[in-house]
């Protein structure tokens, strides 16, 4: 091959000859120009485009997805205004909370930062209304500190709002009263906080090794006579609770001593039972399904472990399904910075009734 036939190679280290055709690939954004930096085609900001601009012209854009908030700001405008575009940070500045990546949006070179839609994630502030739940964080940008430039940080609060009551993973079952006189509906719901207020909705995620909370309750029953008891819980990678890979979480009313940490917070004492489970992933599977058997007992009859007791003859089964994905962030580089698999609330809610 003759020298005049050689093509540009961004990875190669050969020196460009005069006959080489110089150009950046991929193409630069509209606010960039292609420069020769040590014989390497490099996209650099074209500051002349932003002549006369001030900090009032810095207007970040926010994208709200089901499990992530993304805030983006013009890289070249920040550079023109002498702000350090590598200093972007959220309310909490740690390696687990910040990853800055460049992308082209509307033909402009933009810097983007992603925030997980999760309570207490890296300084998120949660506002929980009756029908809406909002997640707020703040993007901070520091000045370069050059003589004659501004000295104040830029701060941009941003918020994403989601429905709070629809599409919540969970299921219901009907339980007969042990005292006679009717039947009652029991429901199991997954939460992300110990106060059982922030429900895990379809599309939400839970990081592996963080806690999920199961709340099981019975409506319209007489709490002076009846109590709800969870007798058993198991986890399966499939919708089959008899799958060979199932893991026991609870047995006979108490936490089962398995590799998955489970805490029975309350059980058999009232019309509500609460359980904490450390989230985990089945190797090679993309879902986790949790099945729990529940029953109604008379007050004081089914507290504690039940190995020596005879359970009532009627019980129901509740289930929640959780789907797994590789990362709640679209950037693979961020996934490398925070190498955690996440669980996402599934679109399934399925119910079984058992009589035994």
Which DSSP string corresponds to 212-276? EEEEEEEES--TTTEEEEEEEEEEESSS-TT-TT-EEEEETTEE--SSS-EEEEE-SSSSEEEEE
Cβ atoms of 348 and 169 within 8 Å: the answer is yes
Prediction pTM value: 0.50
pLDDT above 90: residue 95: no
Q: Do 62-163 and 170-355 have matching folds?
A: yes
Beta bridge partners of 319: 291
> Cβ–Cβ contacts within 10 Å for residue 48, how many?
9
Q: What does the DSSP 8-state code read for residue 336?
A: H
Q: Which residue has the higher pLDDT, 305 or 255?
A: 255
Q: Which residue has the higher pLDDT, 52 or 334?
A: 52
pLDDT above 50: residue 195: yes
At the second CATH level, the architecture of 170-355 is Sandwich (2.60)
Instruction: Please state which CATH class domain 62-163 belongs to.
Output: mainly beta
Cβ atoms of 168 and 201 within 8 Å: the answer is yes
Q: Which residue has the higher pLDDT, 188 or 146?
A: 188
pLDDT digits (tens, 9 = 90+) for 216-239: 998 878 888 888 999 999 998 877
Give the CA radius of gyration of the chain. 28
Q: What's the mean pLDDT in 55-66?
A: 90
Q: Where do the structural domains in the chain lie, given as residue ranges?
A: 3-45, 62-163, 170-355
Beta bridge partners of 187: 172, 217
- Average of per-residue pLDDT values in the chain: 76
| CA-to-CA separations, 235 to 2, 191, 192, 300, in angstroms, rounded | 65, 17, 18, 28
- The SS3 of residue 4 is helix
Cβ atoms of 232 and 255 within 8 Å: the answer is no
> According to the model, what pLDDT value does residue 219 have?
80
Q: What's the mean pLDDT in 208-214?
A: 85
Q: What's the mean pLDDT in 72-100?
A: 88
């Amino acid at each position: 091959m003759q020298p005049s036939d050689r093509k540009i190679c961004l990875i190669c280290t050969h020196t460009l000859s005069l006959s080489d055709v110089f150009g950046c690939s991929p193409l630069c954004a509209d606010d960039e120009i292609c420069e020769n930096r040590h014989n390497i085609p490099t996209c650099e900001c074209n500051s002349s485009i932003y002549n006369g601009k001030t900090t009032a012209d810095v207007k970040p854009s926010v994208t709200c997805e089901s499990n992530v908030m993304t805030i983006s700001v013009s890289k070249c405008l920040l550079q023109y205004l002498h702000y350090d575009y590598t200093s972007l940070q959220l309310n909490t500045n740690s390696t687990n909370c910040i990853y800055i990546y460049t992308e082209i949006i509307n033909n402009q070179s933009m810097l983007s930062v992603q925030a997980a839609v999760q309570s207490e994630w890296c300084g998120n502030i949660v506002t929980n209304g009756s029908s809406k739940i909002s997640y707020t964080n703040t993007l901070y940008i520091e000045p370069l500190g050059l003589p004659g430039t501004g000295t104040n940080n830029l701060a941009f609060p941003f918020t994403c709002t989601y429905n709070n009551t629809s599409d919540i993973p969970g299921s219901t079952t009907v339980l007969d009263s042990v005292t006679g006189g009717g039947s009652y509906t029991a429901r199991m719901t997954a939460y992300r906080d110990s106060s059982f207020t922030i429900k895990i909705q379809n599309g939400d995620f839970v990081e592996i090794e963080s806690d999920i909370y199961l709340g099981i309750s019975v409506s319209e029953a007489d709490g002076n006579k009846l109590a709800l008891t969870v007798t058993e819980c198991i986890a399966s990678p499939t919708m089959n609770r008899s799958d060979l890979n199932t893991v026991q979480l609870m047995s006979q009313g108490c936490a089962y001593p398995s590799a998955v940490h489970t805490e029975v917070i309350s059980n058999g004492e009232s019309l509500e039972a609460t359980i904490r489970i450390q989230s985990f992933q089945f190797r090679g599977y993309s879902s986790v399904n949790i099945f729990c058997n529940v029953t109604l007992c008379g007050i004081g009859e089914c507290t504690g472990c039940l190995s020596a007791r005879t359970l009532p003859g009627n019980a129901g089964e509740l289930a929640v399904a959780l789907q797994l994905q590789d990362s709640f962030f679209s950037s693979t580089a961020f996934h490398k910075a925070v190498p955690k698999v996440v669980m996402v609330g599934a679109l399934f809610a399925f119910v079984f009734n058992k009589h035994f």
